[in-house]
Chains A and B, each alone.
Chain A
């Protein structure tokens, strides 16, 4: 139990996928202008990450390994993730057309969010079991969501700040993301002792 908790905390805070590993920066910059959109993105990514972790592990463990097809894993995982993302998109469009509009291209682009594939591959590399894979995926998703929501509220505040012309918009967002990463370095080495 403690192991699982540490795994989740590690994936969400210490080795935060965005701020420590710099994975998934595309939606991090792209969908952080408005809180509603960011919340939707955080939930969608959490959903995709968790499901993809579980399914990719199952496929790996019970299909690819028994059949000796380990070399197909990247292809199979991407296919799987694309399918889950498509399903998510159908769901979002049905439940909230506004959110669908807000997320726009970034919703199908969860497929290419390297954090998702990264988690699937890391699960295999670190020889996680099914439960561990799910927890790791959910922890990574929660960490992504947390970073995204914090970043979005920061950016909303910066919207009304008197930022120099040269830094308006994405530049100041990137500086902010950099300083967030600097702050997250405080978690470096946590639990190493």
Chain B
């Protein structure tokens, strides 16, 4: 009898890239529900545009390279990029900006470098940063969340989201329904020499434990993130380091000057903190690769985000922090090779 002589090992665990990616999408669901409940259905509109654009861009890039697009479309990685971008942009963004950002993310952030596994930068953050730099006004206009003012109904929010999605002039009809995010308001307020307690006392910025609206999204993202950690799809190093890098300095600064510096709770539950810590920074392709390297990488993201939030020109520095640490990844990898068994340290 003849047999096939493939090399060892002859078994594999069978936990594949598509399954990892779809677990990540699943873990985003709680944050998505919170997002829709607080900011209206804009997220769903952005998601649909982002997903369609991402799949088309991925297919086009692979067709152009003469490769089979089917396995790449099935592996789900491009959908993760689309989801992360859709979660990061304001739900009121005109659809063509969402589409532009997604196309840039997939083409410039990923396929220029060779596609899955090759990109040094997080594609979603590339798309987001380009949009933020090029369209600062559109990118900082958010709906006023549901938990700020009880007189607004969700259906009004829905109609406004749709109008914004279609590119209508929101200022004409929906003024008062849109505004800056909490971090942006705090930043502007501090710029006008208000103190932090004064700003927080206004009530439209922060609730009991974090920023209005964003606190719940962050909480939901934390829950989804903990699910990923418990399933060992995401290992704990990066989230812990990101949160440590952000919260430790904010704790110290808040203790030194509570009049200006944001406290750790507010930092943790505002902006894109949890989304960054558990979903964006943990993209393995653009993250450092050893456990020790991942601690450095995550701490760097947290610290840079804190620096930008505290002194920088942008209210939420998470995207830039991720990109800045992305470009340091090969450098980190070079100096954080773990000790090999049997070798001297």
Direct touching of A and B (C-beta under 8 Å)? yes
Name the residue in A35, A183, A188, A193 with the highest tally of chain B Cβ atoms < 10 Å from its Cβ: A183
Give chain A residues whose Cβ lies under 8 Å from the Cβ of B323.
179, 182-183, 186
Interface flag for B313 (CB, 8 Å): yes
Q: Is the CB of B304 within 8 A of A186?
A: yes
Partner of B121, one of A156, A164, A179, A193: A179
Distance of A156 Cα from B331 Cα, bound (Å): 10
Q: Is the CB of B324 within 8 A of A186?
A: yes
Interface flag for A131 (CB, 8 Å): no
**Binary contact readout A167-193 vs B (1 if CB under 8 angstroms, 0 otherwise):** 100001001100110111111111111
Interface flag for A149 (CB, 8 Å): yes
**Which residue of chain B is the closest to A192 with respect to CB atoms?**
B313
Q: Is the CB of B317 within 8 A of A186?
A: yes
**Which residue of chain B is the closest to A167 with respect to CB atoms?**
B112
Give chain A residues whose Cβ lies under 8 Å from the Cβ of B317.
186
Q: Is the CB of A183 within 8 A of B118?
A: no
Closest beta carbon of chain A to B224's beta carbon, Å: 26
**Which residue of chain B is the closest to A157 with respect to CB atoms?**
B330
Give chain A residues whose Cβ lies under 8 Å from the Cβ of B330.
150, 153-154, 156-157
Distance of A179 Cα from B324 Cα, bound (Å): 10
Chosen A-B contacts, 12 in total, with CB atoms closer than 8 Å, are A157-B330, A163-B114, A172-B112, A175-B112, A179-B126, A182-B130, A182-B323, A187-B308, A189-B312, A189-B313, A190-B311, A190-B312
Q: Is the CB of B312 within 8 A of A157?
A: no
Give chain B residues whose Cβ lies under 8 Å from the Cβ of A187.
308, 312, 320
Give chain A residues whose Cβ lies under 8 Å from the Cβ of B65.
164
A residues 140-165 touching B (CB-CB < 8 Å): 149-151, 153-154, 156-158, 161-164
Q: Is the CB of B324 within 8 A of A188?
A: no
Give chain B residues whose Cβ lies under 8 Å from the Cβ of A182.
126, 129-130, 133, 323
Closest beta carbon of chain B to A32's beta carbon, Å: 12
Distance of A151 Cα from B120 Cα, bound (Å): 11
Q: Is the CB of A150 within 8 A of B328?
A: yes
Interface flag for B96 (CB, 8 Å): no
Give chain B residues whose Cβ lies under 8 Å from the Cβ of A183.
121, 129, 320, 323-324, 326-327
Closest beta carbon of chain B to A156's beta carbon, Å: 7
Distance of A180 Cα from B325 Cα, bound (Å): 10
Give chain B residues whose Cβ lies under 8 Å from the Cβ of A156.
330
Known: A153-B330, A154-B330, A190-B311. A175 touches B108 (CB 8 A): yes
Closest beta carbon of chain A to B62's beta carbon, Å: 10
Interface flag for B174 (CB, 8 Å): no
Known: A175-B112, A183-B324. A190 touches B126 (CB 8 A): no
B residues 296-323 touching A (CB-CB < 8 Å): 304, 307-308, 311-314, 317, 319-321, 323
Which 7 A-B residue pairings sit nearest by Cβ, starting from the closest?
A189-B313, A186-B320, A153-B330, A183-B323, A162-B114, A161-B118, A157-B330
Partner of A150, one of B118, B311, B314, B331: B331
Q: Is the CB of B121 within 8 A of A190?
A: no
Give chain A residues whose Cβ lies under 8 Å from the Cβ of B321.
186
